[in-house]
Amino acid sequence: MNAMNERISEIGVVPVIKLNHPERDAALLGKALCAGGVPIAEITFRAAGADKAIRLMKEANPEMLVGAGTVTNTAQIDAVIAAGGEFIVTPGFDPELVAYAQAKNIPIFPGCTTATDYHQALKFGLEVLKFFPAEQSGGLAKIKALAAPFPMFRIMPTGGISLKNLKEYFACPVIAACGGSYMVTADLIDNNRWDEITAICKETRRIVEEARA
């Protein structure tokens, strides 16, 4: 895998974040994630100002890997790049967006849940694919089934991932990392429960390391 994919795989989990108040929360949330051993964030465009949140989080926590999720058009890719974002995640496989991101030299992880999606990803030379929504699309059983004809891919399942099933996913060798929002829920962020976020991240890292041992 390339350097970006290796780094994401080393961390093992990607917090998927909807940030409603970037100016208030981005910097502090980044610090809480880093303190928990999870120096990475996928800021989604499900809330306005995602590009601003990316910039603020990265400026306050330069050691972090910060990118964007729920990217659905090329203008958002441009905004992410301008904000200093380092990767793009899309809900589904859009060849136009993949080609555009690659032309702009920013890593992209498209949502792929079918053999057709995997075929398209193969043509673009991708290494790591987002599997979304994971649990609703067949979960680990489907990921394993698709790995048989497509052993070249590493997978980042997102959707329905929690502390309860994290170890089960990481027992599968094709898993590069897991995306999740359980450590960055609206309740935790809006109520400034930074210590709890850090504690959940630490528990996440413990599970990941135990599963990989």
Looking at residue 50, its pLDDT comes to 97
- Known catalytic residue at 123: no
**Residue 1, pLDDT above cutoff 90:** no
Tens of pLDDT, residue by residue over 86-107, are 999 999 999 999 999 999 999 9
Catalytic residue among 18, 42, 58, 86: 42
- Considering only CA atoms, which of 107, 108, 172, 185 is closest in space to residue 140? 172
Looking at residue 53, its pLDDT comes to 98
Scanning the chain, the segments in alpha helix (DSSP H) are 3-11, 22-35, 50-60, 74-82, 95-103, 115-123, 139-147, 166-170, 186-190, 194-212
Residue spans per domain, the chain: 3-212
Q: Is residue 27 classed exposed, middle or buried when 0-12, 13-18 and 19+ CB atoms within 10 A define those classes? A: middle
Name every residue whose Cβ is closer than 8 Å to that of residue 93 and which is 6 or more positions away in sequence: 110, 111, 112, 117, 120, 121
Tell me which amino acid residue 114 is.
Answer: T
Catalytic residue among 18, 58, 86, 130: 130
Tens of pLDDT, residue by residue over 155-199, are 999 999 999 999 999 999 999 999 999 999 999 999 999 999 999
Looking at residue 213, its pLDDT comes to 86
CA 23/CA 127 separation, integer angstroms: 34
- Known catalytic residue at 96: no
- For 44-57, what is the mean pLDDT? 97
Looking at residue 148, its pLDDT comes to 98
CATH number of 3-212: 3.20.20.70
